[in-house]
Structure 1
Amino acid sequence: MTDLDKIIRPSLKQLEPYNSGLSVAAVRRLCGLAEVNRLASNENPFGPAPEVLKYIRNQQNDLHIYPSSEASDLRTELASYLDADADRLVFGNGSEELLSIIFRSVIEPGDRVITLYPSFPLHEDYAVLMGAGIERVALTEDLTIDVDKLAEAASKPAKLLIFSHPVNPAGCWMSRDELLAVLDARHPDTLLVLDEAYFEFALSGDYCGGLDLLAPGKGHWIVLRTFSKAWGLAGLRIGYGVCSSPALAAALDLTRTPFNTNAPAQNAALLALGNEAHMKTSAAAIAAERDKVKASLMERGLRVAPTQANFIFFETEMPSAEAADALMRLGTLVKPWKQAGFDRFIRVTVGQPEENRQFLEHLDSIRART
């Protein structure tokens, strides 16, 4: 045992560093490329509304002043936008920070956490960090949600039921009736966290968001959303949660740091809300491109998950890390999935048409070598 082992939590040894990937600048230097398609992190390639960009370019005053700890202006506008009580909202430095806040506020060693698999890694990592036991509900062979198994698992006592919807990394989803079946089966003492980071991309008629079904008084729950994806503010990092009660929101606020969202992020999100049309236009364009790319991958005989997000999850003929490295050296960044049983899968973000065309060309090139 080293001296550091006496200090660091033992659970940290069970974690792998989060795979955030290389920056475009780093790939350009490493591979000697002038242009790189960044299709690894599920950003909106169209960016935020022009009004947001104008604000960011001119932002120089008041940077020496702390932001509103309560995100007051954004809170008021967002509550109106969602038709939710302002005191049921919580804000974070991206919804990823809110995940950390939730786990630190709720989980104790030995607690049971239920999640889908494959999963967004932080849903499991934070559980491990806090000493919880994880129960995975695997996707079906056709990479859809096994609603019956999820409902069965949710019916038993657990501290936390957490999953993304649409699912990250697969992109699959539940219909209104399917989601309702899981919500109705949930044990009354279980906190539900529905991570809807990709909510705005789910344009199909049978997708149903949690806020359409959940209401105060229907148990304890949190619906997480973010401005990082469809709203185009990934670089500013601001996410939010809608809680089942003001008391739950207040409890989470005790765990977060007082000034966890910065002023430019709050103001940019406020401006983005006022320009919803831009978000909807870009989300629709991305959905159309998503369907084209998915069809192209299926035409190539690849196994592809159904998706309502701004990404596509598909199986390659080689280990995903090898495929991702080969694609990177041609100029396309993708996300190799590394969870056991899925280490031949890649998650690719839907980009603009030219980026998607180049991705498919690069994919054909590396497949031709095998």
Structure 2
Amino acid sequence: MQPPRFSARSELASLQRYNSGLTLDDVAQRAGGRRIAKLGSNENPHGPGAAVREAMADAISRPFVYPDPSARALAAEIAGATGLAGERVVFGDGSEDLLNVLARAVLRPGDEVVTLFPSFPLHEDYAVMMGARVTRIELTQERRIDMEALLAAVARPVRLTLIANPMNPAGVWLAPDDLNALLAAQHPDSLLCLDEAYVEYAAGADYVSCLDRLGAHDKPLLVLRTFSKAHGLAALRIGYGVSNSDDVIGAMNLVRTPFNVNGVAQAAALAAMQNTDEMVTAVAETVRERKRMATALTGMGLEVLPSKGNFLFVNCARPSVEVADQLIDLGVIVKPWKQAGYENFLRVSVGLAWENDQFLDALVCILKGRP
């Protein structure tokens, strides 16, 4: 018997299912008993600290109680840390969920969305899902953000400009002067959204968070953050957005599901914000390892883009799908990039020192044609 047919919305025809990356179980058999270096999903392999784990254990003891639908304790903590009103915070089941919520809240068929390219695919996919048109601002030949093209685009009354800063997968970022220019160029009828999923890894005088500009900005602005990366809570799925616009927050709260962040995630995120020492230590170790890996990869003759994330974007000078497949046999998971023009690039997360060493050693073998 043939399965029954049913037509989905026409906007979905051009979309592909999001590539969530391989799991440890996916590659265990091919790895032949080797330890597996999981470097494909930009996770924090150090995990959360003891206080966060205790908060999780306490919260899971009450699974029969619905969570606070507004995560008010966490909102108050974020408000205290940022100086912004707790009512201006919206929560999601990870910042990926908030990208979906944002698209459903503000985009209409035919609206224009401006984003950087190569991009986190969901920045484009959710816009297409709503029938919007995506305008890509591609990196220059020097692999830098094309500020001239970006400023010209955002000066128009586009519906939404959605930018990851630092960029995923490229790792490059807006310098403070670039961010100031972007904010100044923004059309007053447009919404500007900065996705700062990797902000904790981006410290330095050459980077500034848009949260530092939010309170004084006079045009609609939304900043997204996540607890999945530096805070090590990827499995719990919790992120948040902060806006200077009551209209933006109100619309997002209307379309999100009522209990979209579970109680364990709320408790863990609150403890993570109140106990940051172990996170700061882990981030510092990742930044050191990021520099070491970049030096080693450059020493192999490979192009490595500068990065402010917990990952590197590497040009293998050959199809990265093939390289990534060979790495699996050597116990290493990375993410080959498949967007047009970047098929030779792979994104590799910065893991623990032994994981990074395993990746570097395995890549040398592949590049030299050794088993």
Q: Deviations over 1:112-149 (max 9, x none)?
A: 11000100100000111111111111011222211111
Q: Which residue of 2 aligns with 1:64?
A: 64
Q: Which residue of 1 aligns with 2:261?
A: 261
Q: Which residue of 2 aligns with 1:212?
A: 212
Q: Which residue of 2 aligns with 1:288?
A: 288
Q: Which residue of 2 aligns with 1:109?
A: 109
Q: Which residue of 2 aligns with 1:143?
A: 143
Q: Which residue of 1 aligns with 2:194?
A: 194
Q: Which residue of 2 aligns with 1:43?
A: 43
Q: Which residue of 2 aligns with 1:367?
A: 367
**Structure 2 residues not aligned, in runs of 5+:** none
Matches within 5 A, 1:312-351: 312-351=312-351
The farther-off stretch of 339-348 and 205-214 is 205-214
What's the CA shift for 1:75? 1.1
Q: Which residue of 1 aligns with 2:226?
A: 226
Q: Which residue of 2 aligns with 1:28?
A: 28
How far apart in 2 are the matches of 1:213 and 1:352? 34
Query: Are the equivalent residues in 2 in contact too, given 1:226–1:240 (CA < 8 A)?
Result: yes
Query: Are the equivalent residues in 2 in contact too, given 1:157–1:189 (CA < 8 A)?
Result: yes
What's the CA shift for 1:223? 0.1
How far apart in 2 are the matches of 1:15 and 1:307? 28
The farther-off stretch of 138-147 and 154-163 is 138-147
Give the AA of the match of 2:73.
Answer: D
Q: Which residue of 2 aligns with 1:301?
A: 301
1:83/1:4 CA distance change after superposition, 3 Å: farther
How far apart in 1 are the matches of 2:60 and 2:116? 43
What's the CA shift for 1:248? 2.0
Say whether 1:185 aligns with 2:185. Answer: yes
Q: Report the 3-state secondary structure (helix = DSSP H, G, I; strand = E; otherwise coil) of the residue aligned with 2:98.
A: helix
What's the CA shift for 1:193? 0.8
Give the AA of the match of 1:24.
Answer: L
- TM-score, normalisation: structure 2: 0.96
What's the CA shift for 1:187? 1.1
Give the AA of the match of 2:319.
Answer: P
Q: Report the 3-state secondary structure (helix = DSSP H, G, I; strand = E; otherwise coil) of the residue aligned with 2:135.
A: strand
How far apart in 1 are the matches of 2:26 and 2:171? 28
Q: Which residue of 1 aligns with 2:353?
A: 353
Give the AA of the match of 1:362.
Answer: A
Q: Report the 3-state secondary structure (helix = DSSP H, G, I; strand = E; otherwise coil) of the residue aligned with 2:115.
A: strand
What's the CA shift for 1:57? 4.2
How far apart in 1 are the matches of 2:183 and 2:332? 39
Q: Deviations over 1:284-337 (max 9, x none)?
A: 110111011011111111111111110000111321111111111110100110
How far apart in 1 are the matches of 2:295 and 2:43? 21
Say whether 1:73 aligns with 2:99. Answer: no
How many corresponding residue pairs? 368
Q: Report the 3-state secondary structure (helix = DSSP H, G, I; strand = E; otherwise coil) of the residue aligned with 1:314.
A: strand
Give the AA of the match of 1:76.
Answer: A
Query: Are the equivalent residues in 2 in contact too, given 1:290–1:350 (CA < 8 A)?
Result: yes
State the percentage of identical aligned residues: 46
Query: Are the equivalent residues in 2 in contact too, given 1:171–1:308 (CA < 8 A)?
Result: yes
How far apart in 1 are the matches of 2:32 and 2:153? 50
Q: Which residue of 1 aligns with 2:238?
A: 238
What's the CA shift for 1:50? 1.4
Say whether 1:18 aligns with 2:18. Answer: yes
What's the CA shift for 1:345? 0.3
**Structure 1 residues not aligned, in runs of 5+:** none
How far apart in 2 are the matches of 1:140 and 1:210? 23
Give the AA of the match of 2:62.
Answer: D
- TM-score, normalisation: structure 1: 0.96
Query: Are the equivalent residues in 2 in contact too, given 1:144–1:306 (CA < 8 A)?
Result: no
Q: Report the 3-state secondary structure (helix = DSSP H, G, I; strand = E; otherwise coil) of the residue aligned with 2:110.
A: coil
What's the CA shift for 1:43? 0.5
